[in-house]
Amino acid sequence: KFAMDIGMISIGDSAASPVSVETGAGVLDVTPIWQGGEMVRARVGMGEPILTPADVPVDLPGDGVIMDHPLHVDGGDFKLTFVSMGNPHAVAFVDEPVDEVRLAEVGPLVEHHPLFPNRVNFEVANVLDRGRIKLRVWERGSGITMACGTGACATAVAARLHDFIDDKVVIDLPGGELTVEWPGQGPVVLEGPVAEVYKGEWPD
């Protein structure tokens, strides 16, 4: 959005013209969605989820997806499903409302658990129905965050693997809603709003 707003790139008023963006996780294709001549949303091809334990990475044997792995930390017992979206995630589906999970306490304990050689992002999720999940995220190195695109994708993948949801799900985060599509194989597609949050100038 920033690059288009300042004229660095021009792709026309079309939702069918993807832009390739190089990220730390690889090159992602971003398709802008326009309204009234302004980019208001974006669809991002996030690539295929990584489920092999050694590649997530998580220090457990096996070469297939690990679901509902029990983990105890002070303050909670969780069943974790491990997914990488270019960064490692441990997803816990919980019965208690996610707002009541003491994430500030248990988040760092999960992040730094010896199971995770590169540390891990930790998600706690309530499946509300087959099309909606409520989510909170503890991001490694940052703490509790208002939203996380890869966390939303990892949670949708984990929920789809459990057959908790259909192919498309709305993820309700403290900072807003994201939509994730994943049919059980192939790449994950993330869609959400885009907005300018601040503007500044770099001094000479």
Q: What is the pTM of this model?
A: 0.92
Structure-block tokens of residue 99: 């707002």
Give the pLDDT score at 197. 85
Residue pair 133/173 in contact (Cβ under 8 Å)? The answer is no
Per-residue pLDDT reduced to its tens digit, 43-69: 999 999 999 999 999 999 999 999 999
Note whether 78 and 128 are same-domain residues. yes
Do 94 and 110 lie in a common domain?
Answer: yes
Residue 121's domain spans which residues? 48-184
Whether 89 and 147 map to the same domain: the answer is yes
3-state secondary structure the chain: CHHHHCCCCCCCCCCCCCEEEEECCEEEEEEEEEECCEEEEEEEEEECCECCHHHCCCCCCCCCCCCCEEEEECCEEEEEEEEECCCEEEEEECCCCHHHCCHHHHHHHHHCCCCCCCCCEEEEEEEEECCEEEEEEEECCCEEECCCHHHHHHHHHHHHHCCCCCCEEEEEECCEEEEEECCCCCCEEEEEECCCCCCCCCCC
> Using one digit for the tens of pLDDT, what is the confidence trace for 115-165?
999 999 999 999 999 999 999 999 999 999 999 999 999 999 999 999 999
Number of domains in the chain: 2
Res 100: pLDDT: 98
